[in-house]
Amino acid sequence: METIAPASPDDQREIDPRFPRLTVSDCHKVLRLAHGYAAMATEDHPPGWDGLLLYGEGCGAFRMITRPKGWGRCDRYNIGKAVTPDGTIAVVVMQGDAATGDPHLRPKTKNPRKVASIALIERNRQLELFGAEYGAPEVDMTDDPGPIIQRLWYFLHYRAGDIVRAELAQPVSVDEEGHVSAWVERIPVPSLDLAAVPTDDTDEDGPDIDVQVERR
């Protein structure tokens, strides 16, 4: 059964203990960077280039910001994932639809998932039904033997004007078109106003990021 947990309003507090040292501020940095690069796409770029930038820069920013906090990365199945220090959760940055971040609605991924992603989502479903007794844990590989991956989560985001809504959500099934449509749990992240000037913080773990975000 889907549950929705509240996020902390304190930017420097962990969003959830299962995502060690990941703060609202970290999530906002990821969103600002990803949407800043996507805004650089012009009519001269090929169709869908802004979406590719959102995915690539979102993945890169999330992994760059969490790596100094002890997180790892893995790219098995050609899916860019950030991995919690204990190896139990893998996070993929993904665009959602207009219901993203709204606890009263049920979001879907903007684009349908492919075979590899659907297999990982099915593993989530089996783990939810049968727990750790469901088969052997998946082992991901990066440059070195990777951690054990137990569950897949998405960092969903959706932009409406200058406001970006986001959440961490654990997928459990897809619809007939391949869009993720059901979730075990959702953790809302406070919305980001891209028009607001970001304030300095004292977090020394992550890199400084300064990307100009254009209005659409």
The answer to whether residue 101 sits within a structural domain is: yes
Amino acid identity at 97? D
C-alpha distances in Å from residue 195, one per residue of 17, 47, 160, 178:
30, 26, 12, 34
The answer to whether residue 205 sits within a structural domain is: no
Show the tokens assigned to 158. 């959706």
Q: 130: buried, middle or exposed (CB in 10 Å: 19+, 13-18, 0-12)?
A: exposed
User: Nearest-CA neighbor of 76 among 133, 38, 116, 110?
Assistant: 116
Lowest mean pLDDT among 113-117, 143-147, 199-203: 143-147
The answer to whether residue 94 sits within a structural domain is: yes
Is a pLDDT exceeding 70 seen at residue 211? no
The answer to whether residue 207 sits within a structural domain is: no
The answer to whether residue 64 sits within a structural domain is: yes
The answer to whether residue 199 sits within a structural domain is: no
Q: What is the pLDDT of residue 81?
A: 94
C-alpha distances in Å from residue 114, one per residue of 10, 15, 30, 93, 212:
36, 29, 24, 15, 32
pLDDT classification of 115: cutoffs 50, 70, 90? confident
Is a pLDDT exceeding 80 seen at residue 109? yes
> What are 37-57's pLDDT values in tens digits?
888 888 999 998 888 889 999
Is a pLDDT exceeding 60 seen at residue 214? no
> What are 150-169's pLDDT values in tens digits?
789 999 999 999 999 999 99
C-alpha distances in Å from residue 25, one per residue of 8, 32, 206:
11, 10, 10
C-alpha distances in Å from residue 150, one per residue of 125, 140, 181:
11, 10, 20
- Cβ atoms of residues 80 and 73 within 8 Å: yes
Strand (E) positions, 15-162? 72-74, 81-83, 89-95, 138-141, 145-149, 151-160
Residue 105 main-chain phi, psi, to 5 deg = -120, 165
How much is the average pLDDT of 180-187? 93
Q: What is the pLDDT of residue 53?
A: 87
The answer to whether residue 200 sits within a structural domain is: no
Q: What is the pLDDT of residue 4?
A: 62
The answer to whether residue 187 sits within a structural domain is: yes
Q: What is the pLDDT of residue 58?
A: 95
Lowest mean pLDDT among 9-18, 27-36, 38-47: 9-18
How much is the average pLDDT of 127-131? 75
Which structural domain, as residue segments, surrounds residue 67? 3-193
Our count of domains for the chain comes to 1
Average pLDDT, the chain: 83
